[in-house]
Amino acid sequence: MLLLAVAGCSIDMPPADFAACGPVATPDGGVTAPDYWHDAKPIFDAKCATCHVDGGIAPMPLLTYADARDWAGLIYSAVDRKLMPPWPPNDCCQAYQHDRSLSAADRDTLLRWIDGGLPEGDPATATPSQPLPPPQLSRVDVTLQMPTPYTPVATEETSDLRCFVVEGWPYDEEVFVTGFDVRPGNAAIVHHVIVQTVDASAVPELKAREGADGRAGFDCRNLRGELHVNGGVGGWTPGSVPQESPDATLGVPFPAKSDVLLQIHYDVRAGVTMPDQTEIRFQVAPSVKHRMRALVAANPLWLANDGLEIEAGDPDAMHNFAYDPSVYFSKGAPFFLHAVNLHMHFLGSHGRIGIHRADGSWDCLLDIPAWDYHWSSWYQLAEPVQFNPGDLLYVECHWDNTIGNQAPVNGVVPAPRDLHWATAEEMCAALGLFTDTWP
């Protein structure tokens, strides 16, 4: 008995080389005098143009020579300090689709181009570029929006978790969501969006809850089974980009005779009370080759009282957890991970997700050495990773709960306080999207 107890008292942690880079080639200087058209433009197009377009989330476009020239000073600083393009994962952990990061060679080219006086070069020598997918779905089949704008209010927890029934799903039969794009109506206050499905027969009961407090939607902080959720479609956190599998290889089932339930957490700590009317765009297919589902890794004890305690003033509070999700999610069979997401809130400092293989080896899935809540995206793996029964999915979160890492509330930096698992405090979870079969 004692041995059993002791065996449960620690979690194996990844080795020091968990996400370490192998030998890295030092840029050899490349072309002697890079110019815009031949050398810099392909990098801007591939790594910057997703956001730096007219109407994009970035403050200015970087599509032309004039754009790049006018902002060269800022570009140099951001590239040199690796602040841009924003790409939090450790490059040496795993390969991802839509990787925005600059290679050492690309970074060297841009810096030398600016150092060299911003030569424009000859458009005839332009290197064909392959920009990232545009920040929108290639085809939109269904667009749903919150029925009316909602203006959140600050609760005593300075957060507002609100649910909205969004009717109008046009399909009665089961279909598969192959593309998914959440458009927050007010990105300044939308902390996360969870898109779930509810049985249509439960919609009248849910609609009856709406407006009970004189506002749109209903407070769903204390609701569980009362929500009648019968499936999850996807979620959005800051930094998320549209996801799609246009060839209908992958899709999330949307059950027959169901409607959409949005759960939105509004962060109103800054005192912003502007309205939000979030919109979701879907791409659907009648069938897909592989059904995609979601899994989560978090210690259930973290959700209970002080189970996840982050003490005030602690510069590196850490919690970790490992378990075998195949037991519950794939009936003990192997499965294939396609995307991962690490979820913490504002005080996170770093974290990682990995697989501790049954043979004792480790595979890194995601390593975020400098956590930025505003870029807590889903990361689509370049190649699906097979998870075998007996392996353990590992998640590790670190927080800095010192005064220097506090997020302002209504413009005032609060004193650190003990934090626990709560929507308005902190969380730690690894999320994954997986299929039972592949390829």
Residues that bind other proteins (CB under 8 A): 1, 4-5, 7-11, 221-226, 299-309, 319-328, 332, 390, 392, 421-423
For the CB of residue 261, give the shortest distance to other proteins in the complex, in Å: 17
Q: Which two tokens stand for residue 22?
A: 């192998």
Q: Which residue has the tokens 């870029």?
A: 375
Instruction: Check: CB of residue 217 under 8 Å from CB of residue 228.
Output: no
Q: Which is nearer to other proteins, 69 or 331 (CB)?
A: 331
Q: Which is nearer to other proteins, 1 or 124 (CB)?
A: 1
In 10 A of CB 373, how many CB atoms?
17
In 10 A of CB 309, how many CB atoms?
15
Q: How far apart are the first and last CA of the chain?
A: 44
Distances 267 to 154, 270, 410 between C-alpha atoms, Å: 8, 8, 11
Q: Which is nearer to other proteins, 75 or 428 (CB)?
A: 428
For the CB of residue 299, give the shortest distance to other proteins in the complex, in Å: 5
Determine whether 118 is exposed, middle or buried from the number of CB atoms within 10 Å of its CB (0-12, 13-18, 19+): middle
Residue 85, preceding bond cis, omega within 30 degrees? Answer: yes
Q: Which is nearer to other proteins, 175 or 366 (CB)?
A: 366
Instruction: Check: CB of residue 30 under 8 Å from CB of residue 109.
Output: yes
For the CB of residue 276, give the shortest distance to other proteins in the complex, in Å: 21
For the CB of residue 393, give the shortest distance to other proteins in the complex, in Å: 9
Please compute, for residue 213, the number of CA atoms within 13 A of its CA located in the half-sphere on the CB side.
Answer: 12
Question: Phi and psi (nearest 5°) for 353?
Answer: -130, 135
Q: Which is nearer to other proteins, 244 or 426 (CB)?
A: 426
For the CB of residue 373, give the shortest distance to other proteins in the complex, in Å: 20
Q: What residues contact residue 164 under an 8 Å CB cut-off, 6+ apart? A: 146, 147, 150, 210, 216, 217, 261, 262, 264
For the CB of residue 333, give the shortest distance to other proteins in the complex, in Å: 13
Pairing type for strands 142-145 and 279-285 reads antiparallel
Task: Estimate the crossing angle of helix 72-80 against helix 104-115, to 10 degrees.
Answer: 150
Q: Which is nearer to other proteins, 95 or 303 (CB)?
A: 303
Q: Which is nearer to other proteins, 54 or 359 (CB)?
A: 359
For the CB of residue 138, give the shortest distance to other proteins in the complex, in Å: 37
Q: Which is nearer to other proteins, 140 or 422 (CB)?
A: 422
Q: Which is nearer to other proteins, 185 or 390 (CB)?
A: 390
For the CB of residue 181, give the shortest distance to other proteins in the complex, in Å: 28
Instruction: Check: CB of residue 166 under 8 Å from CB of residue 190.
Output: no
- Among 171, 191, 358, 151, smallest CA distance to 274 is for 151
For the CB of residue 213, give the shortest distance to other proteins in the complex, in Å: 17
